[in-house]
Amino acid sequence: MDEIAVLGVGMHPWGKWGRNFTEYGVAAARNALADAGVDYADVGFVSGAVTVRCGYPGYVAGSTFARALGFTGAQLASSYSACASGATALQVARGQILSNACDVALVAGADTTPKGFLAPNTGERPDDIDWLRFHLVGATNPVYFGLHARRRMDLYGATTDDFAMVKVKNSRHGAHNPNARFAKEYGLDDVRNSPVVSDPLRLLDICATSDGGAAMVVSSMEWARAHGHRDPVRVAGISTVSPTYPDPVIDLPYLAADSVADPSAPLVGFKESIGARAYDEAGLGPDDIDVAEVYDLSSAMELDWYEQLGFCAPGEAERLLRDGDTAIGGRLPVNPSGGLGAFGEAVPAQAIAQVCELTWQLRGTAGARQVDGARVGITVNQGLFGHGSSVIVRR
């Protein structure tokens, strides 16, 4: 797959203010444009990641951000794929650039989130699987996180302290990130003493919902070189894969996984297939990765990703964590930004924010949370309803 250049990245800090999401997205976009040194008039395509919690302007996020920056006649798209929306928006922008429909694209996502559990649309909706899971089972998002965490304990002997260690590690990283919402460095006892939300996971094992915004300015390699960017961070692979039937793993928002009674059906793990596609596009593998940003909706989920990205064999993630391999200073630091544990989730911004962090890491400008010598990084995340998301960047 041909590469595109990351000319600039920018964020609005994460927090919980309840202001208009447009404000966060525009601030992030302006920061990304300034970081890129690109004139907004040169942006030929605005790719927005959608929020479904902020009314119609959220559904047409690309237009909302473009109008707030000033309409220039640029082409627009707005993408929704739940937590994966930011990667989809980047994917759409890459397609525009590689098909020569534009030279420079702005990718942006932002959200303003309500307090508490994310919940389905209101009304009586018995044909909506997302409504049914709440109504009939009480299956909130943390319920699925709890199911997967418990299974890790049963299959691999993980302990609740292993999960807590992920939070402790990520909070130590996030304390050095001015864009993170939570600056506090948590200890094991803080996690152990927080209330149980979805057994075996406690409040501090589960990510909060946040306000925030993130943006990138991307271009063709030719345009980058012609405008003075001699050695930009490049996007080498983007995965937005869906599951392959039958997927035997129960995941949100479904009431049932696929049946695997038919022995002739192919068995392709969905989460494993997400990173595999990005590796394939980039012509790289797990051994090439220097730094990763993975979706820690729960602390236990971060451990799942170590295995699903091929950093270790199934059942070995706890060893990587305990040995310090995935902390800054270790062999393969994971979530140097602090991850969702330090940010909380701002859905359409999050997959973009992961790439922002890797861009700073590959440039060597991440300050106190710098991963030494990082040249190749991978992000991974997953949106409900079967949206994979992974981006590989290199320098």
- Where do contacts with another protein occur on this chain (CB under 8 A)? 116-117, 119-120, 122, 124-127, 129, 131-140, 142-143, 146-151, 154-155, 195-201, 245-246, 248-250, 255-262, 265
Query: What is the nearest approach in angstroms of another protein to the Cβ of residue 245?
Result: 6
Nearer to another protein, 283 or 315 (CB): 315
Q: Scanning the structure block, which residue is given the tokens 């208009």?
A: 20
Nearer to another protein, 150 or 225 (CB): 150
Nearer to another protein, 290 or 296 (CB): 296
In the sheet with 4-15, reading across from the earlier edge strand, the strands are 75-79, 45-49, 104-111, 211-220, 4-15, 233-239, 387-394, 376-383, 291-294
Residue pair 87/351 in contact by the 8 Å Cβ criterion:
yes
Nearer to another protein, 97 or 208 (CB): 208
| Residue among 385, 381, 348 nearest 52 (CA) | 348
Query: What is the nearest approach in angstroms of another protein to the Cβ of residue 385?
Result: 11
Element (H, E) at 390: strand 387-394
233-239/387-394 β-pairing: antiparallel
Query: What is the nearest approach in angstroms of another protein to the Cβ of residue 84?
Result: 19
Nearer to another protein, 240 or 379 (CB): 240
Residue 235, CA distances (Å) to 64, 97, 288, 333 in order:
26, 12, 15, 20
Gyration radius of the chain over CA positions: 20
Query: What is the nearest approach in angstroms of another protein to the Cβ of residue 82?
Result: 17
Query: What is the nearest approach in angstroms of another protein to the Cβ of residue 165?
Result: 20
Query: What is the nearest approach in angstroms of another protein to the Cβ of residue 205?
Result: 12
* Residue 123 amino acid letter: G
Residue pair 112/211 in contact by the 8 Å Cβ criterion:
yes
Cα–Cα distance measured from residue 319 to residue 45, given in angstroms and rounded to the nearest whole number: 45
Query: What is the nearest approach in angstroms of another protein to the Cβ of residue 191?
Result: 15
Nearer to another protein, 65 or 131 (CB): 131
Q: Is 28 left (phi over 0), alpha (psi -120 to 50) or beta?
A: alpha
Nearer to another protein, 304 or 357 (CB): 304
Cα–Cα distance measured from residue 110 to residue 248, given in angstroms and rounded to the nearest whole number: 33
Nearer to another protein, 151 or 172 (CB): 151
* Residue 348 amino acid letter: P
Query: What is the nearest approach in angstroms of another protein to the Cβ of residue 150?
Result: 5
